[in-house]
Amino acid sequence: MIDNIYLHPLTLVSGPQTVDGDAVRLGGSMAYAREFALVLRRDGAVAERIVTTASGMDAAIARLPEGAGREAARQWANLRKAQAPLQLGQRTIRLDQPQVMGILNVTPDSFSDGGTNLDPQVGRDAAAAMIEAGAAIIDIGGESTRPGAMATFEDEEIRRVVPAVEYCAAMGAAISVDTRRAGVLDAALAAGAHMVNDVSALRYDPRSIEQVAASGCPVVLMHAPGAGEDLHAGGNYADVVSDVFDFLKLARERAIVAGVAEERILLDPGIGFGKSLGENLALINALPLFHALGSPLLLGVSRKRMIGALSSEENVDARLAGSIALAVKGMEAGVHLLRVHDVAETVQARNVWRGLRDAALTDFRQLPPL
C-alpha cells in the first residue's frame, strides 16, 4: 500500500485576530487559514480525511500512520514558513505581499500582442510601461507555448530574447527569462537576466538543471504533463490537485538533489497546460494546498483560455476582468507572484486588496477583551 498525505487549508480568514489567534499565515504571505483537512490517499483513493483547526493540528497528525505523520508534520511546517525575498540583481523582491510579474513576449505568434514586441522600440516601451506601473519583475519569453504553436529553434529564441534582456537590464529591471532551453538561459544570463521561468520544470533540456545549479539563479518549476515538444500532451489525471502536487514535489526534490538551492525554487501549478476547464478550476480552488511544498508560488492565469470558456468565448483582448478576478483569487490564497499581461490594472487591484487586508489586520476592535 502507498500512502500519500495532503494538508489542505480550508477556511481562509482576513487575520488571526478574527478567530482568537487560531489561524496561521500561509507561506509568509498576507493570507491566513483557520481550518485544515489532512487527506490521506491510499493507492490513489481517499482513505481518511481529518478536519481540524490550527490548534488541533498536532493531535490530528498524531492519529496518522507513522510515515504519513512525518510527511504531514513537514507540510505543516512548510505551510507556516516565511519565504525569503528574491535578490534579482540590485532589486530585492519581498514576498510578504503579492508581487506582479509583467509578461513581455517577443514572439511572432504571441496570442496577447500579435508579435508587436519583436520591434525593439515597441518592446522597450512596453517594458518601461510595465516597470513604471509597478511590475516587480519582467518575464521575457521568446517561444510560444500555447497549444499548437510552431516549434522554435534555440538560436532563433536567443535572437529574440537577448535584445529584450539587454534593454530591460539597461532600465535596471529585475528580469526573468521564460525558457526551457539551456542555451537560451545561458545567453540571457550573460545579457543581464536574473532568473529562469521553466515551463518544463527543468525536464526538457537535460543541461538546464546543472546550469541552474551552477549559476545560482532562482528558478520557477511549472507543472505541464508533456516533457517533450508538446507540453500539453498526456494530461490524464486520477485527481488533478493531488497529481500536480506530487509532480511539483518531485520536481522540487530533483532540483535540490542536483544542487539547486532550496531557497531559489519557486513553483507554478501550470494553469492551462494540458488541463481541462474543470481541472483548472479545481487547481485554482486548491491553491492554498501548494504552500505545503515549502516554496514561493507563482500563478499565471492572465487572459487564458479558461476565461473565455467561462465568459461567452470572449476574445483574448477582452479578458481583463476575468484575469483580475483570478488574480484576486490567487492573492486570497497567498500566491507570491502573479504573472500578468495587464500590469497597471493588476497592481491597482493588488493595492486595493492589500489596503483591505492591512485594515483587517490592524482592526483591534476584533481582538478579544483582556
Average pLDDT over residues 42-56: 94
HEC secondary structure over the chain: CCEEEEEEEEEEECCHHHHCCCCEECCCCCCEEEEEEEEEEECCEEEEEEEEEHHHHHHHHHCCCHHHHHHHHHHHHHHCCCCCCEEECCEEECCCCCEEEEEEECCCCCCCCCCHHHCHHHHHHHHHHHHHHCCCEEEEECCCCCCCCCCCCHHHHHHHHHHHHHHHHHCCCCEEEECCCHHHHHHHHHHCCCEEEECCCCCCCCCHHHHHHHHCCCEEEECCCCCCCCCCCCCCCCCHHHHHHHHHHHHHHHHHHCCCCHHHEEEECCCCCCCCHHHHHHHHHCHHHHHHHCCCEEECCCCCHHHHHCCCCCCHHHCHHHHHHHHHHHHHCCCCEEEECCHHHHHHHHHHHHHHHHHHHCCHHHCCCC
What local confidence, expressed as pLDDT, does residue 334 receive? 98
Active-site amino acid positions? 304, 339
User: Does position 181 have pLDDT exceeding 60, yes or no?
Assistant: yes
pLDDT in tens, 244-274: 999 999 999 999 999 999 999 999 999 999 9
Does the structure show a pLDDT above 60 at 192? yes
Domains (ranges, CATH) in the chain? 3-79 (no CATH), 86-357 (3.20.20.20)
Judged against a pLDDT cut of 70, whether residue 365 lies above it is answered with no
pLDDT score recorded for residue 135: 98
- The answer to whether the Cα torsion of 339, 340, 344, 347 is positive or negative is negative
What's the confidence (pLDDT) of residue 363? 72
Say whether pLDDT at 366 is over 60: no
**Exposure on the CB side of residue 283, measured as CA atoms within 13 A:** 28
Closest C-alpha among 220, 144, 158 to residue 188: 158
Percentage with pLDDT > 90 across the chain = 87
Residue 195 and residue 151: Cα distance in Å, rounded?
Answer: 23
What are the two backbone dihedrals, phi and then psi, of residue 117, each rounded to the nearest 5 degrees?
-75, -5
Residue 191 above 70 pLDDT? yes
The answer to whether the predicted template modeling score (pTM) of the entire model surpasses 0.75 is yes
Residue in the structure block whose three cell numbers are 487560531: 22
Residue with cell 497546460: 273
Give 22's pLDDT tier (boundaries 50, 70, 90). very high
Arithmetic mean of pLDDT over the chain? 94
List, for residues 203-244, the tens digit of each pLDDT value.
Answer: 999 999 999 999 999 999 999 999 888 999 989 999 999 999
pLDDT at 369 > cutoff 90: no
**The three-state (H, E, C) secondary structure of 155-206, written as one string:** HHHHHHHHHHHHHHHHCCCCEEEECCCHHHHHHHHHHCCCEEEECCCCCCCC
Report residue 367's pLDDT band, with 50, 70 and 90 as the boundaries.
low
Q: How far is CA 29 from the centre of its chain?
A: 13
What's the mean pLDDT in 150-178? 95
- Residue pLDDT, tens place only, 294-346: 999 999 999 999 999 999 999 999 999 999 999 999 999 999 999 999 999 99
- In this predicted structure, what is the pLDDT of residue 362? 85
pLDDT for residue 303:
96
How far is it, in rounded angstroms, from Cα 114 to Cα 116? Answer: 6
